[in-house]
């Protein structure tokens, strides 16, 4: 015992509730080390002692290399300690006071659990709530921290003897798996007849039968209810559209396995990786042609959003049916429903629910995979509440809350070097979403013992988030919308402090510092300030906000600008009442309710209308631009003309050429050429500004960069011209990242600002 040495090791990161302690226990046992492991307020603490140092260094190298699949290690500290002469290694279940502990996102059922689920001799055979330390619900069932069963919605289920034995055995896969359960002691499914709200018999089989008969079933999942129907049944899909009051917004699908997905879409190996990831996002995939599913599922789109089952309940149901429409159950624009009583009964023919309560509602995440990396349309389940560590040069002492914008909102909190961004919360103008927004703020305050000393919001004085910020009575920082789009991406990629980038914010709309509406901006930016160096030439937006709903309005503005009063009426303008057009032209000329905008989203609206592919009235944000992208021919190399009249980018030559070409060219060709024009103008501007300001990094963000075609073309051109291109990969380029960008600016301001 002469050579007895001891070390105290602290592991920071997502290391609780992910099977970390049993992993440490097994590792120490294998290496013959004594000591203990325990959860602390900020991570996991390990005390090890052994003879000599070789086993201890081996222990350390395995600690990071072989960590459990769900563990995320941010930092490990090792300090020499005084040996205690312990005889064995133990797992301590007591904890210290909490300060800032991360919690894992919800995780799809692991392969071990799936094997047990379909193994007829396993005691959890076909039990829809099977889980273990490597999988299962997390974020959506946690009421408070530390992550322990009594602080989750599983507290109402008392473990049976067998479950408890596994739960207490450090060598078992279910050691301290907080939501562990079995058919004897855990949650149960229930079928409810929505007309009587009473229980009916038949279980999963009956639900599957209903679906096969073309009925609509509401199914309670991890973060809320889905509405399910048979995607092959056009009548069922149409009825679901009526129920959801959505005529065209694409429905997501859930498919049994990759083979099934392959029948309907083209999938790359990178997309397969994301589909199979335990985070189980919805991935947008190119439809196969001819298409085997009714157009009604995603009309006018060239892609389908598909996910794989992520709970045992989904896996069991999909074992009977290979593919289902699985759209979130909600009323239009409101948060996803999490309890039957919230209105689920009105939306379906059968409710398949269960008695494990959902504490925090959370939608499915949605992404495209572009150049091997995610492009998030929505970041929610599976990704939230994963923290982002801030670079050291931006770490400050205080705690900050950033409230985001208004549409597609999120909130972000900063504490002790980390930012946590909430799930997608929707449009705050709807009171139900605003309630969700306030709920998540109080939830984060409790969960992360967080008390903001500063608040950050948008410049817009009338945003509900800005007004909410004012009521907090703490120092309030306001940041311009498009600048925050760029800042969020800078923070994600850890751009250096003082380093300037060229930010291209192509977006729907946001209030500019000059009182006009921005959205087609070139900003030279660092964390502290920005200057607006170029932008799409501002044009009047007839009807103000209404122009975002009625895409043809902006077409009139662009046509008037390009041709003067005798402008032609191509595309969908043929179908608009002539009197209405006259009235809009008059309003434009008189400057009535027609604020100036440089928005690139509105440019897409105009071009889609001129090409005749936009709806007269958009049903959801980005509908016309998405159709334009879906239709564009990727192989086209040509582009249109534009004038660079610094700082204005005048696109009237392009509008004229498009109208002329409409007579002789395919719409898909024109759409392709339009995309090329934008990529080319970004590259030309970057080249001239890059030289003038010695800038080599270009940030591409804003909702328009959800357009994968534009993103790929622009990225390629810029890289060929020697630029480094940064774009959001961990957060969405749309307004979900506003709160993160606001945070980046607030941190810089507190650290370096005056
Ligand atoms: Zn598992
Ligand atoms: Zn049990
Ligand atoms: Fe935006």
Q: How far is the CA of 155 from the centre of ligand 1 (A)?
A: 20
Question: What tokens were used for 524?
Answer: 């030279």
H helices within 31-80, ranges in order?
54-65
Q: Of the ligands numbered here, which is closest to the C-alpha atom of 511?
A: 3
Spacing, Cα 733 to ligand 3 middle (Å): 8
Contacts 24+ apart (CB under 8 A), 238-247: 238/296, 240/216, 240/325, 240/327, 241/296, 243/216, 243/347, 243/348, 244/327, 244/332, 244/347, 245/331, 245/332, 246/332, 246/619, 246/620, 247/619
Asked whether the domain spanning 189-378 has the same topology as the one spanning 103-187, the reply is yes
CA 603 – ligand 3 centroid, Å: 15
From ligand 3's centre to the CA of 483, what distance in Å?
Answer: 9
**pLDDT at residue 2, rounded to an integer:** 57
User: Do the bridges between strand 476-479 and strand 454-458 make them parallel or antiparallel, or are there none, so unpaired?
Assistant: parallel
The domain spans of the chain are 4-91, 103-187, 189-378, 536-697
pLDDT at 420: 97
Structure tokens at 620: 């959801």
Closest CA to 427 of 481, 465, 483, 384: 465
Ligand 3 centroid distance, CA of 406 (Å): 9
Half-sphere exposure of 228 (CA within 13 A, CB side): 29
Pick the CATH number of 536-697 from 3.40.50.410, 3.40.1360.10, 3.30.300.20, 3.30.420.40: 3.30.420.40
CA separation for the pair 728, 161 (Å, rounded): 48
Ligand (nearest to CA of 124): 2
* pTM for the whole structure: 0.94
Q: How far apart are CA 322 and CA 317, in angstroms?
A: 9
What local confidence, expressed as pLDDT, does residue 651 receive? 98
Ligand nearest to the CA of 185: 2
CA distance 465 to 411: 9
Calculate how far, in angstroms, residue 373's C-alpha sits from the geometric centre of ligand 3.
21
Q: Which ligand is nearest to the CA of 132?
A: 1
- Whether residue 598 contacts residue 516, with contact meaning beta carbons closer than 8 Å, is answered with yes
Q: Can you tell me the distance from the alpha carbon of 35 to that of 85, in angstroms, rounded to the nearest whole number?
A: 9
Whole-number Å distance, alpha carbon 138 to ligand 2 midpoint, is 19
Which residues of the chain, if any, have pLDDT below 50? 1
Ligand 1 geometric centre to CA of 135 (Å): 4
| Cα 418 to ligand 1 centroid, rounded to whole Å | 28
Pick the ligand that lies closest to the CA of residue 173. Answer: 1
Phi-psi region of 658 (alpha: psi -120 to 50; beta: other; left: phi over 0): alpha
- Between the CA of 177 and the centroid of ligand 1 the distance, in Å, is 9
Ligand nearest to the CA of 177: 1
Peptide bond preceding 290 in cis form (omega within 30 of 0): yes
Instruction: Give me ligand 2 centre to Cα 159, in Å.
Output: 5
* Residue 340 and residue 281 in contact, taking contact as beta carbons nearer than 8 Å: no
The span from the CA of 313 to the CA of 723, in Å, is: 48
Distance 312 CA to ligand 1 centre (A): 10
**Which residues lie near ion ligand 1 (Cβ < 5 Å)?**
110, 113, 132, 134-135
CA of 58 to the centre of ligand 1 (A): 28
Contact 71, 19 (CB under 8 A): yes
> How much is the pLDDT for 754?
66
Ligand closest to CA 704:
3
Q: How far is the CA of 482 from the centre of ligand 3 (A)?
A: 6
By the 8 A CB rule, do 666 and 694 touch? no
Identify the CATH homologous superfamily for domain 189-378: DHBP synthase (3.90.870.10)
CATH 3.30.420.40 fits 4-91, yes or no: no
Q: Write the class of the CATH domain 103-187.
A: alpha beta
């Amino acid at each position: 015992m002469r050579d007895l040495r001891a070390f105290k090791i602290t592991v920071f990161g997502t290391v609780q509730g992910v099977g970390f302690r049993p992993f440490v226990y097994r590792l120490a046992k294998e290496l013959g080390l004594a000591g203990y492991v325990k959860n602390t307020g900020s991570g996991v603490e390990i005390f090890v002692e052994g003879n000599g140092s070789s086993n201890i260094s081996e222990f350390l190298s395995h600690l990071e290399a072989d960590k459990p699949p769900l563990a995320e290690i941010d930092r490990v500290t090792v300090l020499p300690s005084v040996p205690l002469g312990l005889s064995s290694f133990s797992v301590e279940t007591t904890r210290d006071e909490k300060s800032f502990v991360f919690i894992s996102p919800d995780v799809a059922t692991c392969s071990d659990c799936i094997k047990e689920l379909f193994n007829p001799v396993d005691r959890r055979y076909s039990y829809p709530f099977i889980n273990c330390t490597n999988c299962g619900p997390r974020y959506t069932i946690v009421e408070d921290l530390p992550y322990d069963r009594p602080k989750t919605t599983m507290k109402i289920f008392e473990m049976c003897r067998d479950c408890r034995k596994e739960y207490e055995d450090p060598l078992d896969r279910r050691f301290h798996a907080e939501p562990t359960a079995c058919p004897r002691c855990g949650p149960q499914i229930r079928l409810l007849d929505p007309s009587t709200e009473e229980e009916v018999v038949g279980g999963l089989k009956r639900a599957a039968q209903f679906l096969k008969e073309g009925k609509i079933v509401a199914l309670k999942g991890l973060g809320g209810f889905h509405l399910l129907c048979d995607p092959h049944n056009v009548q069922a899909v149409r009825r679901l559209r009526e129920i959801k009051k959505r005529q065209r917004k694409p429905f997501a699908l859930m498919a049994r396995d990759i083979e099934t997905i392959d029948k309907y879409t083209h999938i790359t190996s990178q997309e397969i990786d994301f589909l199979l990831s335990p985070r189980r996002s919805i991935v947008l995939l190119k439809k196969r042609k001819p298409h085997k599913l009714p157009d009604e599922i995603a009309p006018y789109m060239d892609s389908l959003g598909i996910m794989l089952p992520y709970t045992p309940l989904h896996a069991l149901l999909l074992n009977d049916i290979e593919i289902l429409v699985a759209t979130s159950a909600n009323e239009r624009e409101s948060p996803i429903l999490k309890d039957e009583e919230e209105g689920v009964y009105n939306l379906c023919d059968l409710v398949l629910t269960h008695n494990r309560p959902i504490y925090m509602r959370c939608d499915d995440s949605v992404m495209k995979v572009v150049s091997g990396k995610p492009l998030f349309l929505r970041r929610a389940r599976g990704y939230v509440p994963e923290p982002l560590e801030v670079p050291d040069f931006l770490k400050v002492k205080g705690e900050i809350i950033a409230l985001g914008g208004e549409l597609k909102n999120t909130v972000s909190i900063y504490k002790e070097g980390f930012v946590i961004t909430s799930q997608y919360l929707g449009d705050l103008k709807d009171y139900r979403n605003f309630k969700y927004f306030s709920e998540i703020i109080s939830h984060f305050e409790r969960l992360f013992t967080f008390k903001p000393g500063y608040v950050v919001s948008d410049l817009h004085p009338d945003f509900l988030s800005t007004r909410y910020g004012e009521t907090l009575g703490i120092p309030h920082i306001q940041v311009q919308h498009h600048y925050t789009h760029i800042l969020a991406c800078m923070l994600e990629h850890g751009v250096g402090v003082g380093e300037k980038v060229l930010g291209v914010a192509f977006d729907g709309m946001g209030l500019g510092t000059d009182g006009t509406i921005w959205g087609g901006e070139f900003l030279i930016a660092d964390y502290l300030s920005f200057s607006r160096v170029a932008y799409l030439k501002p044009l009047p937006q007839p009807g103000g906000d209404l122009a975002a709903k009625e895409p043809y309005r902006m077409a009139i503005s662009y046509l008037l600008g390009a041709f003067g009063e005798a402008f032609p009426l191509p595309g969908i303008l043929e179908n608009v009442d002539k009197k209405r057009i006259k009235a809009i032209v008059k309003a434009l000329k008189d400057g009535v309710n027609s604020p100036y905008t440089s928005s690139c989203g509105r440019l897409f609206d105009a071009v889609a209308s001129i090409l005749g592919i936009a709806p007269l009235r958009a049903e959801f944000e980005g509908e016309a631009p998405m159709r334009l992208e879906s239709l564009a021919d990727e192989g086209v190399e040509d582009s249109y003309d534009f004038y660079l009249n610094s700082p204005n980018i005048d696109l009237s030559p392009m509008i004229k050429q498009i109208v002329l070409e409409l007579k002789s060219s395919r719409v898909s060709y024109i759409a392709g050429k339009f995309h090329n024009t934008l990529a080319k103008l970004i590259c030309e501007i970057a080249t001239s500004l890059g030289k003038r300001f010695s800038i080599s990094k270009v940030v591409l963000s804003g909702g328009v960069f959800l357009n994968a075609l534009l993103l790929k073309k622009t990225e390629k051109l810029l890289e060929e011209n020697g630029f480094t291109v940064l774009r959001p990969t961990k957060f969405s380029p749309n307004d979900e990242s506003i709160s993160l960008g606001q945070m980046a600016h607030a941190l810089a301001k507190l650290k370096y600002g005056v």
